[in-house]
Amino acid sequence: MTIAVLNAMLKPWLEGQLPDWVEPRWYASKDEVFALAPKAEIGWFDMYTKADVVKVVTLAERMRWLNTGYAGLDFFPLDLMAERGVRLTNGAGINAITIAEYVVMGMLSFAKDYPAVLRAQARGEWLKDSPGKRELFESRALILGHGAIGQEIDTRLAAFGVEVTKVRRTPGPGTLGPDEWRARLGEFDWVILAVPQTPETEGMIGAAELAAMKRDAVLVNIARGGVVDQDALVAALQERRIGGAFLDVTTPEPLPAGHPLWRLDNAVLTMHLSGRAQTRMYERAARRFLRNLPRFRSGEPLEAEADLTRGY
């Protein structure tokens, strides 16, 4: 029997579906998972704080496969896991649909200045004209990162008639390579960040990149706060050097109450809610986990298996 330590929240989708060679040990609290972790050969540890994730993974010395619903892996002890030979599968793609919908929502909110409409409603004012007159149709978007989320965004924007250019490691038709996109930044109405946070992407949008963008371009970040130099972004927004920013992620999270981003009328903050705006996250993650179990047992490649060296 292979011991799998699993969150009790997953019982509705896993109980009765696990193969007979898996012995589940369910946890419902932090103390329970810390106690069970040393026994785990398979672990599914989605803790609320990064420190708890590191602690539980460190305790799981027998673990051979860690599954997580997190897409970003920048805070996992990847070196320790590589040293122990642990395989890691993450939540890449599980939330891609709802996050892509959030991106479209954010773009439309800027195009039509929907926040201004809501403010008028709160004042009881009947507007005689639309505060926003931009159309997505025939606008140009740059998507940095063309993984599961980037692909879902691409599909939805194509339906709106947006001309999409992608950035990925291997250039091809309609794509740019990692060293090509900066010289083209001034061509795009929308710059969408869907990259993992790694040493390569840390601060990839800084003062120089913001200065290269069109004056009415909107930055959309559903990646990680750390991929943007936030101080440089605040300055660019305050000085109206770009059209705006739709930010689902910030540094830090939660954003402190007095931070200037809260007060800027050309920034929209959505508090890292994009992946949570759904009811099917655990169901989708459980189905993938069940598909991966026989693959793990036979030593085959796993769906959404991360490269511990690259960090995604």
224 part of the active site: yes
Confidence (pLDDT) at 48: 81
| pLDDT tier at 246, thresholds 50, 70, 90 | very high
73, two tokens: 């892996």
What's the mean pLDDT in 60-80?
A: 94
What's the mean pLDDT in 3-17?
A: 96
Catalytic residue among 61, 83, 135, 253: 253
Kindly tell me if the per-residue pLDDT of 173 is higher than 90. no
Confidence (pLDDT) at 50: 86
Confidence (pLDDT) at 170: 79
pLDDT digits (tens, 9 = 90+) for 271-311: 999 999 999 999 999 999 999 999 999 999 999 999 999 88
Quote the CA–CA distance of 203 and 231 in Å, as a whole number: 11
CATH (residue range 2-94+279-298): 3.40.50.720
Q: Give the residue, 295 or 171, on which the prediction is more confident.
A: 295
Domain edges within the chain: 2-94+279-298, 96-276
The architecture that CATH gives domain 96-276 is 3-Layer(aba) Sandwich (3.40)
Catalytic residue among 62, 182, 259, 272: 272
Confidence (pLDDT) at 311: 86
Q: Residue for token digits 């001309």?
A: 163
What's the mean pLDDT in 205-223?
A: 98
pLDDT digits (tens, 9 = 90+) for 83-126: 999 999 999 899 999 999 999 999 999 999 999 999 999 999 99
Spatial contact of 99 and 149, defined as CB atoms under 8 Å apart: yes
Quote the CA–CA distance of 98 and 87 in Å, as a whole number: 27
Q: Do 96-276 and 2-94+279-298 have the same topology in CATH?
A: yes
Q: Residue for token digits 């122990």?
A: 84
Confidence (pLDDT) at 71: 85
Catalytic residue among 87, 146, 224, 284: 224
pLDDT digits (tens, 9 = 90+) for 140-164: 999 999 999 999 999 999 999 999 9
pTM (2 d.p.): 0.87
Q: Where are the alpha helices (DSSP H) in the chain?
A: 11-14, 30-36, 50-59, 78-84, 96-111, 114-123, 148-159, 207-212, 230-238, 281-298
Q: Residue for token digits 């599961």?
A: 148
253 part of the active site: yes
Mean pLDDT of the chain: 96
| pLDDT tier at 172, thresholds 50, 70, 90 | confident
